[in-house]
Amino acid sequence: MCKIKYPLLAGLTTMALLLQPVAGADWQEEVETLTSQVLPQAIANRHWFHARPELGNREFETARKIIDELNRLGFDEIEQGVAHTGVVAVLKGGLSGPTVALRADMDGLPVTEKTGLAFASKVTTLWQGVETGVMHACGHDAHMAILLGVAEVLSQMREGIPGNVKFIFQPAEEGPPVGEEGGAQLMIKQGVLGGRYAPGAIFGLHVFPGRTGSIMYKADGFMAAADSLEIEIVGKQAHGSMPWGGVDPITAAAQVINALQTVVSRQLDISQAPAVVTIGSIHGGNRGNIIPESVKLTGTIRTLDPGMREQVQSLIKQTAQQAAMSMGAKALVSIDLGYPVTFNDAKLTKAMRPVLERTALGGLATEVKPYMGAEDFSFYANEIPGLFFALGVAHDDPTVEIATNHSPYFYVNDKALPVGIKALSQLALEWLYSNR
């Protein structure tokens, strides 16, 4: 429980004692002590989640585990089935005040794990008609375990908390199944940021393969917008021995791919902000002696500036169409808007920087360049002030090759979990004390 002072109100005929929570070292030390106590359970929870990953909008067993843990902690306001499988819980503090939100994502990826860990995933599923493994290859198991650790820490401090903490466990961050809504957009659509406990700010983290316990952050654009790109190159089918009798969409596709690389390198002002255009798949034809009628390209577009996001879409369409036309083919370009830029509120980031610095292992909290990866936390931060940061989770052994997120070898060092628990706990408390 948070320690309290009893200030004397001088000048009053009737003396009264008012309980005032200490917004300083006392609650910081209490978070430190409680984090040590809850850490074994947090590690056990992470291993449990890691061994049982589920894909977006299908996190049924994951949600049941989260609900069981919240019930164990005495939460009495738990909402289930939000955005299909999401869980939202509110911890009501003992003192009046505003509400702050903390968010963790729940879903795994269609990746066959190769870490060799004792608790490695053995789960398989059908993904786009092909049997594949399922793995927490992006570290969402750690995110959930950390947030449950925060829930346990703050539930033991609730009587001294000036306000409320909303815990958001969100499904489908990696994207919902085709034809379904999901993720942060659906959570917001279903009211997670509104109602009686509408939060005034939101915090979240993502584990990255950096030095264990380090914290990386950036004000303003921290992670990129991600939009999907599909281009169908339409030609005219012919015999492979007589290409002059048709229009070769494969050759045209090669020209389109090369031309698209000039969008960023020659047509955008990249001194303003970085951008990436990547073609990740090519599908066309079924025999070596047949020129097919069409070829399909798919890719991703990453930008950090909203104006450049619009500009690059126009340039991609223009460049692809003209390159295909030069070969006698047509380019049908489709761009689907995905996650917007993950913006960290500059004022909030500045105010919370001391929290990140004191909770990072060895004080290693660094303002970094933006990441070109994307996160649907961006949708929350578009609605209310948000701060999203990265937590380093690399292996202790420097000779072990560091695997990136989404790799079948991605590794999370459990020694980073207490840093995440302390950081999110103190961010929530710091904001509540500052805004009561």
pLDDT one-digit tens code per residue, 347-366: 999 999 999 999 999 999 99
Per DSSP, the three-state class of 406 is coil
Task: Give all strands of the β-sheet with 162-170 in edge-to-edge order.
Answer: 78-82, 86-92, 162-170, 95-105, 202-208, 386-392, 215-217, 365-367
- CA of residue 28 relative to chain centroid, distance: 26
Per DSSP, the three-state class of 184 is helix
Residues 380-402, mean pLDDT to the nearest whole number: 95
pLDDT one-digit tens code per residue, 164-206: 999 999 999 999 999 999 999 999 999 999 999 999 999 999 9
Region of residue 97 (left: phi > 0; alpha: psi -120 to 50; beta: else): left
CB 409 within 8 A of CB 391: no
- Angstrom distance (rounded) from CA 386 to CA 378: 8
pLDDT at 5: 36
Q: Select from 153, 172, 149 the least CA-distant residue to 161.
A: 153
pLDDT at 65: 98
pLDDT at 399: 86
10 Å CB burial of residue 395 (0-12, 13-18, 19+) is middle
Structural domains of the chain ordered from first start = 4-223+341-435 (3.40.630.10), 225-339 (3.30.70.360)
Strand-pairing partners, residue 223, are 342, 371
10 Å CB burial of residue 316 (0-12, 13-18, 19+) is buried
Work out the percent of the chain whose per-residue pLDDT is above 90.
92
Residues 47-57, mean pLDDT to the nearest whole number: 98
Q: Select from 366, 421, 408, 417 the least CA-distant residue to 212.
A: 417
Residues 10-18, mean pLDDT to the nearest whole number: 33
pLDDT one-digit tens code per residue, 131-168: 999 999 999 999 999 999 999 999 999 999 999 999 99
Residues 12-32, mean pLDDT to the nearest whole number: 58
pLDDT one-digit tens code per residue, 42-51: 999 999 999 9
pLDDT at 19: 36
pLDDT one-digit tens code per residue, 209-233: 999 999 999 999 999 999 999 999 9
pLDDT at 401: 87
Cα angle: 202, vertex 204, 209; to 5 degrees:
160
| Maximum pairwise Cα distance, the chain | 105
Residue 78 has pLDDT above 80, yes or no: yes
- Angstrom distance (rounded) from CA 204 to CA 385: 12
Residues 334-356, mean pLDDT to the nearest whole number: 97
